[in-house]
Amino acid sequence: ITSRFHYCTSLLRGSVVNTRVGSKSNCFISLIHSKYYCGTKMKSALVLIVDGSEEMEFTISADVLRRAGVAVTVAGVEGSNPVKCSRDVVIVPDTSLAEAVKKGPYDALVLPGGAGYVKFSASAEVGNALKEQEKAGRIVAAICAAPAVLKAHGIAKGKSLTSYPSVKEELVSDYKYSEDKVVIDGNLVTSRGPGTAFDFALALAEKLTDKENAEKVKKAMLL
């Protein structure tokens, strides 16, 4: 690690290989563990899931962030049992939200959309996690219908955001509404739906790590 560049180190046939990967001071990716570090702290994201969550938005967000070297924890809002998503894809959370918050904080808290947003909105536990995240100045990210969860819990009022069209009318009175694919306002990141999930996840990857790292992930996925 130097003052201008960071390096990633891996073992290849018993030898150590260093490759320059970017320009953020005191940050690097370990190719052995695929984790992104700044100083000694690994970047982290808590991705919530509940019955009815949109599986593309959930999976693409979690997967792209892991490809970017972010330590992703998948937390079930209703416990750690398997979750049935909106198109019947079943996801097994790493842990429950109740347990996950004990191991925080996380650099980003991510909400997928889908019909499950109603359960996010009704959950005091989700509301508390969002309020703590906002109070600490950490990233809050929501896609599709999930920005309506922010309104339900009084998060980021007055900021710019976007959402799935069906919840637009719920948001226009309390937020500066945009129809851009991804909207970033400080530590708030929002996006529109399944078709913008890669844009959303890559924007998060860039915000958590850096632009060069996000571009490498994008290129490797042939986007």
**Which residues are catalytically annotated?**
144
Buried b (16+ CB within 10 A) or exposed e, 129-157: bbeebbeeebbbbbbbbbbbbbbbbebbe
* 119/86 Cα distance (integer angstroms): 13
* 52/40 Cα distance (integer angstroms): 37
Please answer whether residues 204 and 108 qualify as being in contact, where contact means their C-beta atoms are separated by less than 8 angstroms: yes
As a dihedral over the C-alpha atoms of residue 127, residue 128, residue 132, residue 133, rounded to 10 degrees, the angle is -40
Percent helix, percent strand, percent coil in the chain, to nearest 5: 35, 30, 35
Q: Which residues pair with 41 in a beta bridge?
A: 38
Find, among 75, 85, 72, 154, the residue nearest to 117 by Cα.
85
- β-sheet with 188-191: strand ranges across: 95-96, 71-76, 44-49, 108-111, 139-143, 188-191, 182-185
Query: What are residue 49's phi and psi, to 5 degrees?
Result: -150, 150
